[in-house]
Each structure stands twice: as C-alpha cells, then as structure tokens.
Amino acid sequence: MLKIREFADTGGVLSAIYLLDEDGVLKIGNQAASVALPENALAVVMARYGAPFDPDAPIAEVATLTLGDGRTLRHVRHLARYDVIARDYLVYEGPGLTPSCALSTTVARALEHLASVLPSLVTAQRTSRP
C-alpha cells in the first residue's frame, strides 16, 4: 500500500488516499474501501502529467509500490533550492519505460476522479448497447 495523498477532511480529520496492488489489479482508496482502476490508468495518467525523471536529482525515498511486469511506483520527496517545503512526487518506472515523475497530488486527484466516474461510465456503456 502506497500513500499518494494526505488531506484534512471537512471535519478537520487527517485522511489519506492509497494505491495498492491486489493480485495484479491496481486499486485506489482509503483504509476502509478501495476501487479497482482500469488496467492502464496509471500509465495514462503518468504519460499525461509526468515529465522525465532526473536520476541525479536530490530526493528522499519515502516508499515503493511494486506493480506487475517489473514496474514500480516510487513516492519520493524533493526539496528544490528555491522551495521552503519539500514536495512529494511519484516516479513510475519499468522495463522499456522512460522513468517519469509527477506531483503526487496531481496523480492522486486524476486517479480519484477516474475512480469516481468509472461506475457511471460502466452504467452508460451497458445502457447504450442494443
């Protein structure tokens, strides 16, 4: 389980969003529940929002989630010279892939949005068939 976002909910309670890999299925959720994401969701989001990862950048490793096919998603923290607070990034790597990184909050919100609209997309597809 990899924490990708942390926030204070409407009641002021600290909450977290996690990614987990269960038997090759990537899921997003919290401690109580999770939703399966489409097979290529993470790759598409990282292609859209990610940029090439600089392996020489000064980072602190926070955690790693091992995915299928030798792919990994690393949570790293980077403090740029001009920043006061370090930022959290996700680094997506694997055989044949150029390692890419994106702000973890950006990736988290994109995947959360996808998970929230998925049930309505499935319902729409079912009702539109002859």
**CA-closest candidate to residue 90, choices 26, 32, 36:** 26
- Give pLDDT tens digits for 12-51: 999 899 999 988 899 999 888 899 999 899 999 999 999 9
| H or E element at residue 110 | helix 104-128
Can you give the pLDDT at residue 99?
Answer: 94
Segment 88-112 shows an average pLDDT of: 94
User: Which residue in the block uniquely carries the two structure tokens 């892939």?
Assistant: 97
Can you give the pLDDT at residue 58?
Answer: 85
- Could you tell me if 68 and 24 are in contact, meaning their C-beta atoms sit under 8 angstroms apart? yes
Q: Measured between alpha carbons, how far is 102 from 76 in angstroms, rounded to an integer?
A: 10
**CA-closest candidate to residue 111, choices 52, 54, 51, 34:** 34
Can you give the pLDDT at residue 84?
Answer: 66
- Give pLDDT tens digits for 108-125: 999 999 998 876 554 444
Domain boundaries, the chain: 38-128
| H or E element at residue 19 | strand 14-22
pTM (global) more than 0.95: no
CB-based burial label for 2 (10 Å; 0-12, 13-18, 19+): buried
Token pair of 9, please? 């909910």
b/e burial code for range 72-96 (CB count within 10 A of at least 16 → b): ebbbbebeeeeeeeeebbbbbbeee
